[in-house]
Amino acid sequence: MTIYRHYLYNVTMNEKVITLRDEKGHWLPGTPSPNPSGGPVLKVSLTKLLQDRLHNEPQTAQTIVNAWIDACKSRDMRALTEMLDRLEGKVASEVNLKALIVNVGDDYAREGIEAAKKDLVERQERYLLKEGEDATKQS
């Protein structure tokens, strides 16, 4: 299995993050996220905008409700299901699930750790070589 190293710079933590991926580009288990804070937060809430608009325009809200009820009367099952789910709550459904759990994380983690160690050694060697070259230039 080939492990690919990706170097990313985490601006919020002010550090370089090494992410390890497999041949398909999937992150290996245990690899630190390059975006630990998650995605960007929207500055504007669409729900809030819609609520404000409908609050300020009650006639528009009434028009939407009337159209929804008309759709239910005309046997639109999608509209009826949505209305009942909102009024009564969704119906609970039972799910039968059979799963085979295989622990492959240890192998991936071990390979990731070995790759990170190898990378660290390579960087240390490059640093020492560079430091040695600088010392010979100064003398």
Residue 95 resides in a domain: no
58 with 84, same domain: the answer is yes
Residue 70 resides in a domain: yes
Residue 40 resides in a domain: no
132 with 107, same domain: the answer is yes
Residue 96 resides in a domain: no
Indicate the pTM of the whole model. Answer: 0.38
Query: How confident is the model over 85-114, as pLDDT tens digits?
Result: 989 888 887 877 776 655 556 666 677 778
Residue 64 resides in a domain: yes
Give the contacts of 5 (CB within 8 A, at least 6 positions apart).
18, 19, 20, 115, 119
35, two tokens:
């975006």
Query: How confident is the model over 58-89, as pLDDT tens digits?
Result: 999 999 999 999 999 999 999 999 999 989 88
Query: How confident is the model over 28-62, as pLDDT tens digits?
Result: 777 666 666 776 766 788 889 999 999 999 999 99
80 with 52, same domain: the answer is yes
Give me the amino acid identity at 48. Answer: K
Q: How many CB atoms lie within 10 A of CB 138?
A: 6
Return d(Cα 60, Cα 66) in angstroms, integer.
Answer: 10
82 with 52, same domain: the answer is yes
Residue 109, Cβ density class (10 Å: 0-12 exposed, 13-18 middle, ≥19 buried) = middle
116, two tokens:
């990170």
50 with 84, same domain: the answer is yes
Phi, psi of 8 (to 5 degrees): -130, 150
Residue 39 resides in a domain: no
27 with 52, same domain: the answer is no
Query: In total, how many domains does the chain have?
Result: 2
Residue 94 resides in a domain: no
51 with 82, same domain: the answer is yes
Structural domain span for residue 57: 46-88
Torsion from C-alpha of 52, 58, 61, 66, nearest 10 degrees = 170
Residue 116 resides in a domain: yes
